[in-house]
Chains A and B, each alone.
Chain A
Amino acid sequence: MAVADSGAEPTVIADRLDIIYKVIAGQGGKGTAATALRRIVKRQDRPTIREVHAVKNVSFTAYKGDAIGVIGRNGSGKSTMLRAIAGLLPPASGAVYTGGRPSLLGVNAAMMNDLTGDRNVVLGCLAMGMSAAEIQRRYDEIVDFSGIGDFIDLPMSTYSSGMAARLKFAIASAKTHDILLVDEALATGDAEFRVRSERKIKELRDQAGTVFLVSHSLDVVQETCNRALWLDAGVLKLDGPVDEVVAAYVKSTRG
């Protein structure tokens, strides 16, 4: 689609990307030992394991300076696509090419719930490849930005979902990123944090070059992005300037 316009330097290229993953879908059949045995003898796959074809044949090219909103209904493959761009979920076929290592900021970032917030800050930063000295230098900044305050000494399991999201976002955004993928990170925070994190995204975007933003709040997408991808049931329905795509999406949801 947008591949032909070649003045700018591409940073992310998705080439006929397909992603299939297996999920365990609750109890299927009677679930007794006898049925399990029959299944194995007949060489059938477990009925409880279902293959989900989450992203189907998606191609696009993102350029330096692009901020791309990814919109679509729940379960349309937006988060899955971001994970594939980040290289965390391998594609079943097709490929994603990226310049540099994309970073994913998401609310799903796993932390250790038994541990205190401050231990999680250190662990998260280490996992991202920061050095101990660097972490020490930036520790206060991260905690300040999260706005967690004294709760930083308490286990994560005592945090509200909003607080956990704030901390995760603060940790993940501590690093400078070439390509930034933001997955609904702002949705759970309160209004004040939202403003703060939107400013952070703009800042990161200025440094980064390319930002992907998955969000259900269309005004945030329109405010921060110049381009949008509309995914519908895993298929890329529209790729273009943000206002056009959002308008078409809104029209379809009303119809």
Chain B
Amino acid sequence: MPTAETDPAALARRYGLSKSSVRPPLGSYLRELWSRRQFVVSYAAARTYAMYAGARLGSIWQVLTPLLNAAVYYLAFGVLLGTKNGIDNYVAFLLSGIFVFTFTQRCMTEGSRSLALNLSLIRTLHFPRATLPLAYVLNELNQMLVSLGILFVVVGFTDGPAWSWLLVVPAMLLQVMFNIGITLVFARIGTFVSDITQLLPFVTRTWLYASGIFFSLPAKLNQVDAPGWVIQVLAFNPISAYIDIIRRSLLEEHEPNQLPHAWSIAIVWSFVMLAAGFWYFWQAEDRYGRG
């Protein structure tokens, strides 16, 4: 019969000891996370540095990668397949789509390995695990800002600057919120089901073709005489919404190609995904060390 003297749990209670591997309540977890913001920033900076440290051109690749990417797609869709559909500024149309999509896609694929690749760090030091996926998102945001710079230059040359460019700031903010959420979700899945890293490229590629990046969704649907509700359904795709709000702010002639309710859909997705991502990730906080 265990008494207070011999029962370990009771003894621990008496001296105020707590279980060593226990998940903190969500509130204090978020506070702890906030206190490590410096670590997130430094870790992201270190990763960016390490990524290009070996390359001869160094961080010039941050500019070259999105440009080459866009060139390939321009060649395939703009020139060879001719999906321009009378979009005047097709280059800016294409670039904005690709950059926005790549941002989310890279967050998902890289984020899904963010914990698995740092397992020894996780098993050695104590820190909120969400800092790692967050640092990965920050990395991709850094790349995205470079890409946006390219986009501004292109649109500045073709259309000239406009006040509506300022709307890019809230648009970007919304996408970052969404990306944090989806990265946290895939970080958890990727830790326990490593098969996801094999599967993700196919998921994201399907998503790529469904998001109206190379062609205007409304124009395409008109072409094939699709019923009106199809566009309403397709507009719920978060990526389409984020692309659309960026195009609205940058491209004047985008008006006929706009998706319905893009801003409201983008806002709802952002808040829901961010909250759901944190909640889902935090649920397994104490188990990430097991791998």
A-side residues, CB < 8 A to B, are: 3-4, 6, 9-16, 21-22, 59, 61, 83-91, 95-99, 101-104, 106, 108-110, 112, 114-115, 119, 122-124, 126-129, 131-132, 155
Tell which of B37-45, B88-96, B200-208, B224-232 binds the partner.
Answer: B37-45
Complex Cα distance A119/B46, Å?
A: 8
CA A97 – CA B21 in complex, angstroms?
9
Query: Which has the most chain A C-beta neighbours within 10 Å: B54, B127, B286, B289?
Result: B289
- Is the pair B38, A132 in contact by a Cβ cutoff of 8 Å? yes
B17 and A85 form a contact (CB under 8 A): no
**B18: Cβ under 8 A from any A Cβ:** yes
* Residue numbers in A under 8 Å from B36 (CB-CB): 126-127, 129
Q: Is the interface of A mostly helix, strand, loop or mixed?
A: mixed
- Are B5 and A4 neighbours in the complex by a CB distance under 8 Å? yes
Q: Is the CB of B20 within 8 A of A87?
A: yes
Task: Name the residue of chain A whose CB is nearest to the CB of B47.
Answer: A112
- Whether a CB of chain A sits under 8 angstroms from the CB of B16 is yes
**Which chain A positions have C-beta within 8 A of B54?**
114
The smallest C-beta distance from B101 to any residue of chain A, in angstroms, reads 29
CA distance A9 to B50 in the complex (A): 47
Question: Is B157 part of the binding interface, using a Cβ–Cβ cutoff of 8 Å?
Answer: no
- Is B158 engaged at the interface, CB distance under 8 Å to the other chain? no
Q: B287 on the interface (CB 8 Å rule)?
A: yes
Chain B nearest Cβ from A127, distance in angstroms: 5
Closest partner residue, chain A, to B12 (CB atom): A97
- Is B118 positioned at the interface, with any CB of A under 8 Å from its CB? yes
Q: Residue of A at shortest CB range from B40?
A: A126
- Chain B interface residues toward A at CB < 8 A: 5-6, 8-9, 11-12, 15-22, 35-36, 38-39, 42-43, 46-47, 49-50, 53-54, 118, 120-127, 286-287, 289-291
CA A193 to CA B42, docked complex, whole Å:
29
Of A96, A123, A124, the residue contacting B19 (CB under 8 A) is A96
Q: Which residues of the other chain, B, contact A98 by a CB distance below 8 angstroms?
A: 17-20
How many Å lie between the Cα of A95 and that of B209 in the bound state?
50
Q: List 5 A-B contacts (CB under 8 A).
A: A83-B289, A90-B286, A102-B20, A114-B49, A126-B42
Q: Which residue of A lies closest to B121 (CB)?
A: A110
- A2 CB, min distance to chain B CBs, angstroms: 11
Given A106-B124, A110-B120, A128-B125, CB of A95 within 8 Å of CB of B291: no
Chain B residues near A11 (CB, 8 Å)? 17
In the assembled complex, the CB of B113 is this many whole angstroms from the nearest CB of chain A, namely 15
* A10-B12 in contact (CB<8A): yes
Q: Is the CB of A3 within 8 A of B8?
A: yes
- B17 smallest CB distance to A (angstroms): 4
B9 and A99: CB pair below 8 A? no
> A108 — which chain B residues lie within 8 A by C-beta?
120, 123-124
